[in-house]
Structure 1
Amino acid sequence: MQAMWRTVMIAICGVAALLPLPAFAQDEIVVTASRRQEGAAQVAGIGIRHRADFAVQRVTVYGDARDKDARRKEILDTVRDVIQLGTKRGVQLAYGAGIIQPLTLANYADKLKLEEDDDRDDSQKVDFLIKTPLSDGNALAAIDRLNSFIKAAPRVGRAVIEAEGEPGVSIVDPTQYRAAILAAIAADATAAAKQFGPDYAVEVSDLARPVQWVLTGPTEVLLYINHDLKVVPKD
């Protein structure tokens, strides 16, 4: 099942687009604190609140061995060992940007692309995500697990592994909550109609839009559909 997951990622570095990306079935949405202020001004608050499923952290492996082939080998061998450690510790890895997918022993050598490190001469780097379940809703404990994992991660040769940016959280398959979101919108529309009396009705449109999201707390995400609601006189 994990191999089927895709992840639409809100940029860990805080350079996300102003609007959330649409969610598709089995996507895993990664949300960081940068989304809270951006999204708050755009959301009317009609939706459902859900505890996130994972705590997430982006990490980078740097290598600066003088020989380019040796450098690549040290970086990728470090990633391999990190994946193996993750299997033992229950920490999952993922790769990519925008849409990210599981990083495994079977695909890491092909999927990770080494980039030149602008800040360090004769060095290269790769980045990926690590994540741990938020089953108990304790964000601090989950972040501590990720930090401990990074500290314990093996380094091969001159390779170095570091956390990049702030940690985030993720929610798996947000489209499964569409029915619950529609129910919340319907309840809000019904309440609005009652406020204006029997001579008025409510029109709701744009309900086919994708499920979107915004961070509302350390481990809480508001899932919503950006719809339009109008109170109109009955014919």
Structure 2
Amino acid sequence: MKITVIIAVLAMLTVPIAANAQDSGAQEVIVTAQRSRQDDYSASMPAVGLRRRADYAVQEVTITGDSREAAARQDEIYGMLANAIAAAPRAGVTIASGDATLQAVTMANYRNLSLEKDNRPDSQKLTFLVKAPLSASAGAQAAEAKIAGFVKAVKPVGRALIATNDDLTFSVVGPDQYRTAIADIIAADAKILAAKFGDGYGVEVEGLNRPVEWARSGLSDVLLYIPYKLVVVPKH
């Protein structure tokens, strides 16, 4: 009697903006909990992948300004951002921008960030990200406290104000560098599953050519995985 057991592990989380599958090995990507990377993938999470601590905690920060004169208001907002950039190295944090992949914000490019309308006709705001590194000894709470302390210490300019927004999210640098480690974990799991059905069965694995994908797994941990299909089949 022929028995075929199919275990399909399909993916979630969106392709990073401005980054394709081939270059994610060099990108720093934001890890969120509620994105589907490909529209045709299942929303179910994979059972097998590499779980590790994220590289950075990331906090959204906004500078607002309400000086009546537009030119003065804009100069105050950008001036406070410049103060944040200058103070960041001393505080052990990094200034960045981006929705899905991150780019450093520096004194050379900070005025490329766009101002947006705030809640009044004569007010504007500018939003960016502050990153704090995570380690075995510095988890999410320590990173959040570091970012909060940094934001409070940024020197104000005119009527500009700075504040954090929303909850922490996290980022991973170069997900594709973990491809081999993930493949090792998939191979070990496949071997165990095949053994459950006896010596007469083996496995077929498809999809390992897909890019590495990512999802939150705990407070500050991430799951890195390859969306693959594993089939246990009789040996011929």
Q: TM-score per shorter chain, which class?
A: 0.7 to 0.9
Query: Contact 1:20 / 1:213 at 8 angstroms: preserved in 2?
Result: no
Q: Deviation per CA, 1:10-56: give whole Å up to 9, x if none.
A: xxxxxxxx633257122112224556xxxx95222211111111111
1:174-225 deviations in Å (ceiling 9; x for gaps):
1111000001111111111111112222110011111111111112111100
Counterpart-to-counterpart distance in 1, 2:165 and 2:138: 23
Q: State how far apart, in whole Å, the 1-side matches of 2:192 and 2:129 are.
A: 43
Deviation at 1:228, TM superposition (A): 0.5
Within a 5 Å distance, the mapping from 1:215-234 to structure 2 comes to: 215-234=216-235
Q: TM-score, normalised by structure 1?
A: 0.85
In the alignment, what sits opposite 1:82? Answer: 84
1:11 corresponds to: none
Asked if 2 retains the 8 angstrom alpha-carbon contact of 1:57 and 1:163, the reply is yes
Q: Which runs of 4+ in 1 moved over 6 A?
A: none
Q: Tell me what 2:134 maps to.
A: 134
Q: Is the 8 A contact 1:94 1:103 kept in 2?
A: yes
One-letter amino acid of the counterpart of residue 221, structure 2: E
- Alignment of structure 1 residues 34-53 onto 2, 5 Å: 34=34, 42-53=44-55
Equivalent position SS for 2:47: coil
2:130, 2:234 → 1: CA distance? 53
Contact kept, 8 Å, 1:137 with 1:219, in 2: the verdict is no
Cα distance in structure 1, aligned partners of 2:219 and 2:231: 33
Q: Deviations over 1:152-181 (max 9, x none)?
A: 112211111111111112221111110000
Could you tell me how far apart the structure 1 residues matched to 2:186 and 2:33 are? 26
Counterpart mapping for 1:112-191 below 5 A? 112-117=113-118, 119-135=119-135, 136-191=137-192
In structure 2, give the amino acid aligned to 1:126: L
Structure 2 counterpart of 1:208: 209
State percent identity of aligned pairs.
45
Matched pairs, number: 213
Normalising by structure 2, report the TM-score.
0.84
Q: What are the ranges of 5 or more consecutive residues in structure 1 without an aligned counterpart? A: 1-17
Contact 1:61-1:160 at 8 Å conserved across structures:
yes
Corresponding residue number in structure 2 for 1:198: 199
